[in-house]
Amino acid sequence: MKTQEYTPLFDESEMQTVKMHISKYPKPMAAVMPLLWMIQEKYGWISIDAMRYVGDLLSIPHDHVLGVATFYSMYFKKPVGKFHLQICTNVSCMLCDGYKIFNHISDKLGVKNKGITPDGLFSIEEVECLGSCATAPMLQINNKEFHENLTIEKTDELLAKLRNSN
Amino acid sequence: MEKIILKDIPDLDKIDVYISNGGYSALKKVLTGMKPDEVIAEVKNSGLRGRGGACFSTGMKWSFMPKGNEKPKFLCCNGDESEPGSFKDREIFEKNPHQFIEGSLIAAYAMGIQAVYVYIRGEYWKWINIMEECVADAYKKGLIGKNILGSDFSVEMYVHKGAGAYICGEESSLMNSLEGKRGYPRVKPPFPAAVGVWGNPTTINNIETLANVPEIINKGSEWFSKIGDPKHPGTLLYGVSGHVNKPGVYELPTGTPLMTIINDYCGGIKDGKDFKMIIPGGSSMPPLTKEESLTMKMDAESLKAVGSAIGTAGIMVMDEDTDIVHVLQRITKFYYHESCGQCTPCREGCGWMLKVLDRIMDGTGRHSDLDLLISVAENIEGNTICALGDAAAWPVKWTVRKFRKEFESKIKNENIELPVLNKVHGLRKSDEYVTIDTDENTLVESLIGKVQEITVDENLKRYSS
């Protein structure tokens, strides 16, 4: 099935993790989601070549991996900023001025939804409910930390902190 | 009120604290003294109903699983929790994860399960890490794995991380996602108990449902069935958000009056305002008006009586200044984004409803749009493989019905542009249009009359000048 040779995207120790993930399920195909997560953790986003690589590791068709990667919204199919800000604007956040926070960040960074700043530091995305409704409005950074109970001041502080940490 | 899940014990998420507070004693009880059928009967008698929204009897669901061991059997724990307005499972992962693990192990014993998969939404990065640690701790103590507590019962448990798809909270879609496929729902029948994940018998339970099980085993089904509403017993984790002073998750018995939750526990509406609309169980449930809310009790049967449902008990409160049309537009945008695209009514209908709501918000809506919205919603409902179609249709259908005035106020005095007929070519349209101001009750017939009148006038003007 291998049509092309690629430089391996995982090193020895990561291959052990890959084997661990495959062993969790009765069929190797099921490991496609954890493997895509590993690629994204390491490289920040998932390229078409990386999808082919995952397909070869699991001996499943490349287009199946493409299908999975494009179905789920948390896999980034193109590069995002170093700090990818995911701002919730769903009902509970909207009721607590979630759009105000979104527009403030968008104006301040000068980028629109799914845009990325020219220096590659920030990108923003309007996302659906993240299950943080009691602490709205909120945002998530790089699919990880939640920042809850936001105000304009807190948002400014957060942006400054992120900029300085770079 | 005694709490079943969110107990007031500090550090209950640590396995040692949990064990010293009587944790894993229910597991010991079933492994040493109860047959699997007795466990299922006990859960059935308790009247525990699923907490994921469908409210199906848990004991009944377990009893559908085949008895023999010809094929491996699986249990999937549904922690995908993506319904806007619900955030209760996250509270369980954080405050009492081991009670959920114990519950799923008891369920595994009762049904003869070989492997348990805990499916958690990918956004819950922090809580996935917590659960992975907790499962590892339980493995170390010999509570999961081979020959648990010296018995001949063995089961494996794995945490599976989702990747941001609301649809994967639907049970058959969750199974496809677990298999490493796109999260497309499957046609039922066959039901998961017959053909589930990897073609094997499977049961899918909500996290909160399973977290209730250890206490039912410890204290007995009779004790549990006396809590709250007799037809829907137990406690619920009410997640309150929106315009209230103290939003959060509150564990209270089923059948608690909605106003008690909002006024006594959540400290009333923000800024002392009045409220206009309440969504009782996550964004897909039909909303309640103020009048309905005042006397509403929060349990499956009471909400069913007014055409709504308990859903995931995620209560969203909207004050008197809320723009209902905007709220509905946002809800519809969510379903449009999350529709998996398999069934035409849902894929196209959600986009259609969103377009209509967009133009009502823009101020270019038409009077016929309100009936159009209801018509589209009714044609989605029941015509799709899974319940996402219904979930998208219900809020539209019921919000437009219950809050029609709000919508009409956005489209009053609309201007309708009608073509002027070309006199020379009969019915062919000319490139001229007339704009007519209409109000709410204008009938189509009268509009046609108006156009002809204007057309005649225009012609007269043209020839006389």
Per-residue model confidence (pLDDT) at position B268: 95
- Select the residue of A27, A67, A143 nearest B123 (Cβ to Cβ): A143
Which two structure tokens, joined as six digits, stand for A121? 């530091």
Answer yes or no: do A133 and B241 touch at CB < 8 A: yes
Outline where DSSP puts E strands in B173-269. 202-206, 235-242, 248-253, 256-257
Please check whether residue B95 is in contact with residue B55, taking contact to mean a CB–CB distance below 8 angstroms.
no
One-letter amino acid at B193 equals A
Please check whether residue B239 is in contact with residue B249, taking contact to mean a CB–CB distance below 8 angstroms.
yes
Helices (H), B275-403: 290-295, 300-305, 324-338, 344-362, 368-380, 388-402
For chain B, percent helix, then strand, then coil, each to nearest 5?
45, 15, 35
Q: What is the pLDDT of residues B136-179, one digit of tens each?
A: 999 999 999 999 999 999 999 999 999 999 999 999 999 999 99
* Closest to B249 (Cα-Cα) out of B267, B268, B265, B228: B265
Q: Residue A99 and residue A101: Cα distance in Å, rounded?
A: 5
Q: Is the dihedral of CA B135, B138, B142, B148 positive or negative?
A: negative
Q: What is the pLDDT of residues A71-96, one digit of tens each?
A: 999 999 999 999 999 999 999 999 99
Q: Residue B385 and residue B398: Cα distance in Å, rounded?
A: 22
> The pTM is what?
0.91
Please check whether residue A31 is in contact with residue A64, taking contact to mean a CB–CB distance below 8 angstroms.
no
Left (φ > 0), alpha (ψ -120 to 50) or beta: where does B270 sit? Answer: beta
Residue of B nearest to A130 (CA): B123
Per-residue model confidence (pLDDT) at position B44: 96
Q: Does A66 touch chain B (CB under 8 A)?
A: no
Please check whether residue A71 is in contact with residue B165, taking contact to mean a CB–CB distance below 8 angstroms.
yes
Residue B42 φ then ψ, to 5°: -65, -45
Q: Residue A89 and residue A97: Cα distance in Å, rounded?
A: 8
Q: Residue B85 and residue B69: Cα distance in Å, rounded?
A: 40
Q: Does A73 touch chain B (CB under 8 A)?
A: yes
Please check whether residue B85 is in contact with residue A91, taking contact to mean a CB–CB distance below 8 angstroms.
yes
* Per-residue pLDDT at B85 exceeds 60: yes
> Is the model more confident about A164 or about B445?
A164
Per-residue model confidence (pLDDT) at position A13: 95
* Per-residue pLDDT at B343 exceeds 70: yes
Q: Residue B76 and residue B384: Cα distance in Å, rounded?
A: 23
- Select the residue of A73, A94, A130 nearest B165 (Cβ to Cβ): A73
* Closest to B235 (Cα-Cα) out of B96, B437, B68, B130: B96
What CA–CA distances, in Å, run from A47 to A33, A78, B230, B386, B407?
15, 7, 55, 32, 45
DSSP per-residue string spanning B391-430 = HHHHHHHHHHHHTHHHHHHHSTT-EEEEEEEPSTTTTSEE
Answer yes or no: do A71 and B182 touch at CB < 8 A: yes
Q: Residue B451 and residue B356: Cα distance in Å, rounded?
A: 26
DSSP per-residue string spanning B76-110 = EEEE---STT--SHHHHHHH-HHHHHHHHHHHHHH
Residue of A nearest to B129 (CA): A144
Q: Predicted confidence band at B306 (pLDDT cuts at 50, 70, 90)? A: very high
CA B189-B194-B199 angle, to 5 degrees, is 100
Q: CA gyration radius for chain A?
A: 18
- The mean predicted confidence, pLDDT, of chain B is 91
- Select the residue of B122, B126, B334 nearest A90 (Cβ to Cβ): B334
Q: What is the pLDDT of residues A35-58, one digit of tens each?
A: 999 999 999 999 999 999 999 999
Q: Residue B126 and residue B345: Cα distance in Å, rounded?
A: 37
DSSP per-residue string spanning B30-94 = HHHH--HHHHHHHHHHHT-B-SSSS--BHHHHHHTS-SS-SS--EEEEEE---STT--SHHHHHH
- Select the residue of A31, A128, A146 nearest B180 (Cβ to Cβ): A31
Q: Predicted confidence band at A97 (pLDDT cuts at 50, 70, 90)? A: very high
* Per-residue pLDDT at B429 exceeds 60: no
Answer yes or no: do A73 and B314 touch at CB < 8 A: no
Per-residue model confidence (pLDDT) at position B368: 87
Q: Residue B167 and residue B173: Cα distance in Å, rounded?
A: 7
In angstroms, the first-to-last Cα distance of chain B is 86
CA B213-B219-B222 angle, to 5 degrees, is 90
| Placement of tokens 């724990």 in the chain | B77
DSSP state of B263: I
- The mean predicted confidence, pLDDT, of chain A is 94
Residue of A nearest to B284 (CA): A91
Please check whether residue B437 is in contact with residue B413, taking contact to mean a CB–CB distance below 8 angstroms.
yes
Q: Predicted confidence band at B363 (pLDDT cuts at 50, 70, 90)? A: confident
| Placement of tokens 């977290």 in the chain | B211
DSSP state of B384: S
Residue of A nearest to B121 (CA): A130
Q: What is the pLDDT of residues B266-287, one digit of tens each?
A: 999 999 999 999 999 999 999 9
- Chain A, residues 98-117, CB within 8 A of chain B, namely none
Nearest CA distance, B37 vs chain A (angstrom): 27
Type and span of the H or E element at A33: helix A32-43
Q: Predicted confidence band at B366 (pLDDT cuts at 50, 70, 90)? A: confident
Instruction: Give the β-pairing of A83-88 and A139-141.
Output: antiparallel
ipTM of the complex: 0.95
Q: Residue B121 and residue B86: Cα distance in Å, rounded?
A: 13
Dihedral Cα B214, B219, B225, B228, nearest 10 deg? -90
- Select the residue of B164, B279, B318 nearest A72 (Cβ to Cβ): B164
